[in-house]
Amino acid sequence: MRRASGTYDFGRAARAEWTKLRTAGDTGRLLLLAVALTVAVGCGTAKAVKCPDTGCGQDAVRLALTGVTVGQAVVAVLAVLAVSGEYGSGMIRTTLTAMPGRITVLTAKATVLTAVVLVSGTAAILASLLAGRLILPGNGFTGAHGYAPLSLADGPTLRAAAGSVLYLVLIALLGLGVATAVRAAAPAIGIVLGLLYVFPVVTGVVDDPDWQRHLQQISPMTAGLAVQATVRLGELPIGPWAGLGVLAAWAATALLAGGLLLHGRDA
């Protein structure tokens, strides 16, 4: 049976986007850099933090996954370049001529980017947890101090790991949406990194505790990374999955804005 034209168009667009992303010179290097930084920063944090006695108050899982706060920047840059590179080279005109359905093109880009970040993010998170499992016991994170070895068999650890992978995917989609709206690489990267890193700085200089909490609840990074927490959840400004939902809302808004602008303006 012949496939519907919409399905055919999307499949063709997805294959084209995969080819462009795979053959882009920086893609492989950026993905490797994202994985390496995520694991390296996680290892460095695990080596630096000590737990000398019972009840030291540290979240071992979150320590092992600290590298996500750095690796996300590379993921964001990769997502931005996936769009801005085409505008910079003029290839976007060829893309939209071959595939006039602009929303189909954006959906294909988002799908391919999601798949790539999902794979590399999973590798980075699993490697970070393995490193934490090997390093943390030597710093006092032992059963005697109330810490079991890091394991995906533990529900909160599994949630933190899966949530961290989804977090990286959502960061990529946020970057994709912003880049589609802005088109130029430098301002798009500045906007995304500003949302991620400047937002918490602004929150930190606010004196009012209530306003601090509210800002933390809407900050893409602070709210999104709540999904990594495995202890003292009641003290968080927002719950783990709700926090990831906040980041998803930011990504969806960026994609919607990018899609509307892509659909309504000239290439």
At residue 19, does pLDDT exceed 80? Answer: yes
Other C-beta atoms within 10 Å of 36: how many? 15
pLDDT tens digits for range 41-77 = 999 999 999 998 887 889 999 999 999 999 999 999 9
Domain boundaries, position 87: 5-264
First to last CA, the chain: 35
pLDDT tens digits for range 150-185 = 999 999 999 999 999 999 999 999 999 999 999 999
User: Which two structure tokens, joined as six digits, stand for 76?
Assistant: 């964001």
Domains held by the chain: number: 1
What distance in Å separates the CA atoms of residue 129 and residue 97, rounded to the nearest whole number? Answer: 45
At residue 3, does pLDDT exceed 90? Answer: no
The whole-angstrom distance between residue 161's C-alpha and the CA centroid of its chain comes to 12
Q: What's the mean pLDDT in 195-224?
A: 92
Q: What's the mean pLDDT in 87-114?
A: 85
Q: What's the mean pLDDT in 25-50?
A: 94
Say if residue 27 is exposed, middle or buried (CB neighbours under 10 Å; 0-12, 13-18, 19+): middle
**pLDDT of 2:** 41
User: For 134, phi and psi rounded to 5 degrees?
Assistant: -85, -35
pLDDT band at 266 (very low <50, low <70, confident <90, very high): low
Q: What is the model's pTM?
A: 0.94
Per-residue DSSP letter, 144: G
Other C-beta atoms within 10 Å of 154: how many? 15
pLDDT tens digits for range 119-153 = 999 999 999 999 999 999 999 999 999 899 999 99
Does residue 109 contact residue 83 with C-beta atoms inside 8 Å?
A: yes
Per-residue DSSP letter, 194: I
